[in-house]
Amino acid sequence: MTTLLAFVVAIVVLVSLHELGHFAVARLMGVKVLRFSVGFGTPFWKTQRGDTEWCLAPIPLGGYVKMVDTREGPVADADLPYAFDRQHPAKRIAIVLAGPLTNLLLAVVLYAVSFSVGGVTQVRPWVGMVTAPSIASEAGFQPGDRIESVNQQVVSDWADAQAAMVLNLDAAALKVQVRTADGQQVTRVIDVAGTDAADAVAKTGFLGMLPFKLTNRIGVVEPNGPAAKAGLQKGDALLAVDGKILPDWQAWVQVIQGSAGQKLTVTYERNGQQAQTQIRPDSVMSRGEITGRVGVGALPDRDWQAQVEHHYRPDFAAACTLAAQRVWHYISLTLRFFGKLLMGQASLANISGPLTIADVAGKTAAMGWQSYVEFLALVSVSLGVLNLLPIPVLDGGHLLYYAVEWLRGKPLSQTVQEWGLRFGLMAMLLLMMVAFFNDITRLFG
């Protein structure tokens, strides 16, 4: 229910404001608006306000503003001066541009509110944990590595470093400059272009390393889980399983996941005293495989976390500046991704659709208001940039048509526009199919 509500709120807010941008500028330019709809399909709610019918429709994948337009049917003589297609190309460009720009401006506002009220938490690009086997472990990454650049692109935080590596996995010999724990500057090389491992990372975003460290102490015990039934408690230090010493939490996870249904003897420490207990991991299905689970979570390494995290609260002016920089960064990142996708240098597995958006909406809402607000801002940036792509049926395609018309002094032929529309519809249909396929495999595969 949380996921559904968070997703619906996100769509209503982002789509409504996008279309409101079109609506406001259309009215400003003297164009008559017949309908303002959030959602597609037959409206289940509508009301008339002046010349405009305001609607809510059941398919929450977008919305539209319907204006008087002679290309869509007969128009009364009195309405001809207010028809969209009778306006100067500059006016039409302004109307079309208003939607995406509203999304980008909304993202700046949302980030500014988040930063000024909740503060900014910067996670430094330092490696805290490396799982094995993984792309990171095979490239030689070690706990304590401080990432300085990716393919000579300087990175300032963990999110930048992660995005730079994931989006460049299809490049041969991706070079990551790091400074090791003992101060040496070395280059870690990731060379997995075209492999299944690269496709798996594109779907999950996980390279096999994290910026945080986990201790071997239990931080969370799930009620009525195997660990709770075995008597394990928060704060217990896990030392060994069946006499085999556990060097870190990751070793514990690997043993448990590989021991579904098996009876294990766990040695632990509590209040300075060692003890043993018997535990039998539950068998659960994860990504098509049966794995063991006992219902415990690790206690983070607070000392390391204090080093890797930097939290501060800027004033509103500084928050606005940071918000604008964040939005510009995501705009350039998104455009670079689409460029790489077009050149075959990025995997289609990086594309997400509404199911993933709904899943992330629910998770961020559960984490708190700030996470959810920043999620809305990020999706708003994506929506704005996507709509500016020069693809017919999108706002960017219309912008291209009207810009060419302004330069030529006359519109493109009807045949060219119709072929462009067919191409745009086919491209968007294929994109949606890929997005839904990725969503399904990511969430249920």
Residues with a known catalytic role: 19
Backbone angles phi, psi at 429, to 5 degrees: -65, -45
Largest CA distance in the chain: 91
Contact 299, 214 (CB under 8 A): yes
Radius of gyration of the chain (CA): 27
> How many of the other CB atoms lie within 10 Å of CB of 68?
22
24 closest CA partner among 48, 61, 52: 52
Distance CA 119, CA 319 (A): 9
> How many of the other CB atoms lie within 10 Å of CB of 289?
9
394 closest CA partner among 408, 383, 409: 383
Distance CA 98, CA 84 (A): 14
Residue 314 preceded by cis peptide, ω within 30: no
Distance CA 398, CA 405 (A): 10
Give the burial class of 297: count Cβ atoms within 10 A of its Cβ; 0-12 exposed, 13-18 middle, 19 or more buried: middle
Distance CA 36, CA 64 (A): 6
- For residue 55, list its beta bridge partners: 37, 46
